[in-house]
Structure 1
């Protein structure tokens, strides 16, 4: 009898808490239209010990909204959906890597480009010392709309953007 009560109570808790999440299946399939504009990403990687990591590309849709319940007051909040995909960088010559990103992702949700993260990571640290293991990658985030740049840490650029930062290893013991 006691085990049945536990099971009934557990079932009741699980059943009642399942209503806290509002889920709508969003079609995340991209199909850029033929006339879409493209963003060409090029990374020059002059070190044999590093390589560009795959682009993290975020698209946003104002057509296919998602709903969530506010933890503050329990109200239902409707907001845009996001679609994050990885795009591998392709090595086109010794130290040059490239990728193309569609500005309009299309599809039934009318995905549009919101942000791109790119950068490099160490693949081998042997040249820096014995027994060292590569750590985290370094990179840059590019915002393509007001949603991605809402934290105010971006500057506006028109046309081509050329970044040429120098990265130095940081060794911790």
Structure 2
């Protein structure tokens, strides 16, 4: 007899007890605001910000195969663009902490990134690769990208170094991308429960480009080859550039000036 594969059905829905059917945001006019400011280098652009609100009143409910009930705080996502401040290099947005509405939403976390504004300046076939960015958590819940790497008291100021990374891949469809290399994970996460101001300043070291080329033949021991700004070549199985090596190369070069 053929094997029978059990199928489990999950029913997901919002339980809006006490909320009617309205779970939209409606921030009060006197809501306290959090200001997010990004100081953006000319060659970079700010990606759309993902803003998440949570509600302890309007629960997200799921039922398992045996009918067991699982409750979690409801969540509501909105997407916002940071606005340039005059002719400056500052981009800003103000977010109400109190999302209001029948569900009594509160600001939970924001996710925002940066990337090259014009990848084709590196070649007509170059496309955008991995962006770099920041997650800021304003309550005690994880963000969609997990928990915080760093916890801070009060306002949050972030100033990080980034390097251009041009990568060519030959296995599968050919592609050539430009990405930003920073310290740690692509998105750094911060918990800032009492912040009213969030300031992010990416420092782009555009003269220190790292190049990489993936293998053309899939074979054990064939690794991506990284060529660093000082001319050194490394192929050690690493999945991305060595940030600390880039830092050392730049600092050594700057100390000779």
TM-score (norm 2): 0.54
Give the match for residue 155 of structure 1: 150
SS where residue 126 of structure 2 aligns? Answer: coil
Q: Deviations over 1:56-93 (max 9, x none)?
A: 1110000001211236x551211111101101111113
DSSP-derived class of the 1:167 partner = strand
> Does residue 118 of structure 1 match 2:112?
yes
Number of aligned positions between the proteins: 154
Alignment correspondent of 2:76: 83
Match 1:63 to one of 57, 61, 74:
57
Residue 21 in structure 1 maps to residue 16 in structure 2: no
In 2, the alpha carbon distance for the partners of 1:61 and 1:166 equals 36
Q: Which has the higher strand share?
A: 2
The corresponding residue for 2:139 is 145
What are the equivalent positions in structure 2 for 1:32-47 lying under 5 Å apart?
32-47=27-42
Q: Which has the higher contact order (CA 8 A, sep 6+)?
A: 1
Deviation at 1:161, TM superposition (A): 1.2
Q: Is the aligned partner of 1:164 residue 2:154? A: no
Cα RMSD between the aligned structures? 2.4
Query: Residues 65 and 81 of structure 1 are in contact (CA less than 8 Å); yes or no, is this contact kept in structure 2?
Result: yes
Pick from 4, 26, 29: which aligns with 1:31? 26
Gaps of 5+ in 1: 1-16
Higher-helix-fraction structure: 1
Normalising by structure 1, what TM-score? 0.78
Unaligned 5+ residue runs, structure 2? 1-6, 169-257
